[in-house]
Amino acid sequence: MTTTVATPVLPPELERVVFELAAWRDKETMCTLVLVARRVNIWIGPLRYRVRLVTFQSGNIDALWQLIDNCPASRIHTRHLAVCRLTLHTEDDIATSSIPRILRAFPHLVSLRLWSVTPASIADFHLLHALPALRRLAINLVAIFSERTPGPDPPPAPLLHVTHLELFHQRAHFHGDVPDLNLMRSALRCWPALTVLAHVHGPFVERLDGAQQALHAERAAEFAAIDPRLVILRSVLESWEQDWERGAWGGWDCWRRAEEVVAARGLRNSN
């Protein structure tokens, strides 16, 4: 008499969890797993497009558009997008026309980082209202929140859903300029849901003379006194991409560090 041993079969819902965990932990494995079976591709295929990082090393912004052209449906699965064009040469920077195109192309963004010398316009700001899932934003808003002269464009309406905002400014990042308090106050008024408002300066600040460094320290203290949500972060150009990508996949990043600073201030104030 031959005894037949049944092959163990996982319930589909448990099998899906196993594949998703494997894909989440190893991005190279993710690309292989989608070839296992049609059902696996349906489960974890969208994860391949969840996080998009565009840098000088990974190709220019045109590479992003080419990827979308080849797989148009992929853009609806993108939740985290970063475009890093940190350069002092504006001809190498993000074209002004690319910012609204980015905002229109990815309707379900949760996190967006545009580190660019090119400032966003008020028209770009209005497009942010069409991203209801957006919670974390890093963008150059100097043209919007700086001293505005009367013009045909109305002031930007408040964004009620963004909780984390990083104001990037090339002068502060590349030359060590101190943060603009008026700029930060304007942002706080326009972003009522903010839990963290970050100002990022580059590693160049450490190369400033003693008087300039003292001014930075004084401004940091003023930030905390004005509002506990204001945080100054130091950017390390060589590793910011890894920091951002780690956070996009749920790891510890600059936003987590900023949240810890804000939480510590709240704890001190409560004591």
Number of structural domains found in the chain: 2
pLDDT of residue 172: 47
Same domain for 104 and 19: no
* Cα Rg of the chain (Å, integer): 22
> Distance of alpha carbon 133 from its chain centroid, rounded?
13
Using alpha carbons only, give the angle 33, 48, 131 rounded to the nearest 5 degrees.
Answer: 150
4 in any annotated domain: no
Same domain for 254 and 135: yes
Same domain for 128 and 30: no
Alpha-carbon gap, residue 176 to 202, rounded angstroms? 7
Q: How many C-beta neighbours within 10 Å does residue 15 have? A: 15
Same domain for 202 and 70: yes
Same domain for 144 and 112: yes
38 in any annotated domain: yes
Same domain for 212 and 178: yes
pLDDT digits (tens, 9 = 90+) for 84-123: 764 434 444 556 678 888 889 999 999 999 877 677 788 8
pTM for the structure as a whole: 0.81
Same domain for 141 and 16: no
Alpha-carbon gap, residue 42 to 44, rounded angstroms? 6
pLDDT digits (tens, 9 = 90+) for 217-251: 677 677 777 788 888 776 655 577 888 888 999 88
pLDDT of residue 173: 46
Same domain for 157 and 187: yes
Same domain for 77 and 125: yes
Same domain for 126 and 31: no
Alpha-carbon gap, residue 222 to 231, rounded angstroms? 11
State residue 232 phi and psi, 5-degree precision.
-100, 125
pLDDT category at 154 given cuts 50, 70, 90 is: low
Domain of residue 214: give its range: 50-270
* Residue 197: both structure tokens together: 């408002």
**21 pLDDT above the threshold of 80:** yes
The amino acid occupying position 266 is: G
